């Protein structure tokens, strides 16, 4: 089946989570109408939602739903529930679409068709984000953080914003870390030899996750470093702004975003009197580890010299009854 109508993304809104039948429900609404989904359609959709939910199995009781108002009379509710620790259970409901067995074209008369369909192109964008959020907040931490998962949603915008960063990208970094540094003696000479040193690090969340600031202490060398990160709500990109206690000045920012758990950020600076293109990369992210790399290019990004690598390990909490620094 093909269509002669040109494809266009739809509006994506994110109402606050609710609780239904003992499950915590994250919500995404999709429609081409700037006024949003009509209240009577929303009410009818959530009235049938309990029929779409699985029985408890010991997995943290969380579900995310996509309520989609079609361009015709159709309305669709997709419920994706986490079961068996890391598996998605799906059931859907439809209204106003006789070809799916609906009794009429009323978008409030929902039924549960027995079809092996998991969603259309406008309904699928939340799935990848929810996969990463489930890993980040439930599977990786020692103790699952269901509240953290519920607060980690795609940003509102359009269904085409899937690969843009979100204001929660750096949630993994909050708290205390131990850092192993490896740094080239000469940032532009890959044969200059690596210097290794340890550091301690702490990151604080600001703006409800849309900004953060960190400080890294290097006692063996007598200096500290600081990074201010800001999420641009319009461009959906991060700016990373580094400073050292040795200068007290902000370096030019690097700007970029995350895709599939890897963050790449680019900017321009000078080093030893030469113009350089700067790249920061965040990778290897888990609940207890992360890696940051810096690289310079002097030939317009044709080649890169990786000149600084930080391997982060989550700082272990002091054992009960002992004191920590």
Task: Print the domain residue range for 249.
Answer: 171-314
Pairing of strands 62-69, 75-83: antiparallel
Cα 180 from chain centroid? 25
pLDDT at residue 325, rounded to an integer: 31
Is 296 part of any domain?
yes
CATH code of 240's domain: 2.40.128.20
Out of 141, 161, 181, pick the residue that ends a domain: 161
The single-letter DSSP state of residue 2 is -
Instruction: Please give the tally of structural domains in the chain.
Output: 2
Same domain, 153 and 180: no
Question: Alpha-carbon Rg of the chain, whole angstroms?
Answer: 24
Specify the range with the lowest mean pLDDT, choosing from 6-15, 95-104, 169-178, 294-303. Answer: 6-15
For 272-325, the pLDDT digits (tens) are 999 999 999 998 887 788 999 999 999 999 999 999 999 999 987 543 333 333
Q: How many helices (H) and strands (E) does the chain have?
A: 3, 17
Q: What pLDDT shows up at residue 214?
A: 97
pLDDT digits (tens, 9 = 90+) for 182-230: 999 999 999 999 999 999 999 999 998 899 999 999 999 999 999 999 9
Q: How many residues belong to the chain?
A: 325
Say if 5 falls within a structural domain.
no
Single pTM value for the model: 0.58
Contacts of residue 73, defined as CB under 8 A and 6 or more positions apart, other chains included, come to 96, 97, 105, 106, 107
Q: Which residues contact 51 (CB under 8 A, 6 or more apart)?
A: 91, 93, 112
Whether residues 145 and 197 fall in one domain: no
- In this structure, are 61 and 178 located in the same domain? no
- The predicted pLDDT at position 164 comes to 53
What average pLDDT does this structure show over 249-262?
88
Residues 82 and 200 in one domain: no
């Amino acid at each position: 089946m093909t269509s002669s109508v040109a494809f266009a993304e739809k509006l994506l809104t994110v109402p606050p989570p609710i609780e239904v039948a003992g499950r915590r429900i994250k919500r995404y609404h999709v429609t081409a109408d700037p006024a949003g989904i009509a209240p009577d359609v929303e009410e009818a959709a959530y009235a049938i939602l309990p029929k779409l939910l699985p029985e408890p199995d010991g997995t943290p009781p969380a579900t995310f739903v996509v309520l989609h108002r079609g361009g015709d009379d159709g309305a669709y509710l997709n419920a994706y529930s986490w079961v068996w620790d890391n598996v998605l259970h799906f059931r859907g409901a439809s209204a106003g679409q006789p070809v799916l067995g609906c009794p009429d074209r009323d978008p409030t008369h929902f039924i549960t068709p027995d079809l092996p369909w998991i969603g259309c192109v406008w309904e699928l964008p939340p799935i990848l984000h929810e996969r990463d959020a489930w890993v980040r907040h439930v599977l990786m931490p020692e103790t699952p953080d269901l509240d953290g998962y519920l607060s980690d949603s795609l940003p509102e915008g359009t269904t085409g914003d899937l690969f843009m960063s979100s204001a929660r990208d750096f949630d993994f970094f909050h708290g205390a870390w131990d850092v192993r540094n490896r740094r080239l003696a000469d940032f532009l000479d890959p044969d200059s030899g690596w210097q290794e040193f340890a550091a301690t690090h702490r990151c604080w969340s600001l703006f409800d996750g849309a900004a953060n600031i960190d400080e890294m202490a290097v006692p063996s060398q007598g200096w500290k470093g600081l990074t201010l990160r800001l999420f641009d709500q319009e461009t959906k990109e991060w700016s990373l702004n580094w400073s050292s206690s040795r200068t007290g000045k902000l370096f030019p920012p690097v700007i970029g975003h995350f895709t599939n758990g890897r963050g790449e950020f680019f900017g321009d600076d000078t080093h030893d009197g030469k113009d350089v293109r700067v790249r920061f990369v965040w990778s290897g992210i888990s609940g207890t580890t992360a890696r940051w790399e810096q690289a310079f290019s002097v030939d317009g990004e044709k080649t890169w010299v990786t000149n600084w690598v930080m391997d982060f390990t989550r700082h272990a909490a002091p054992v009960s009854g002992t004191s920590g620094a």
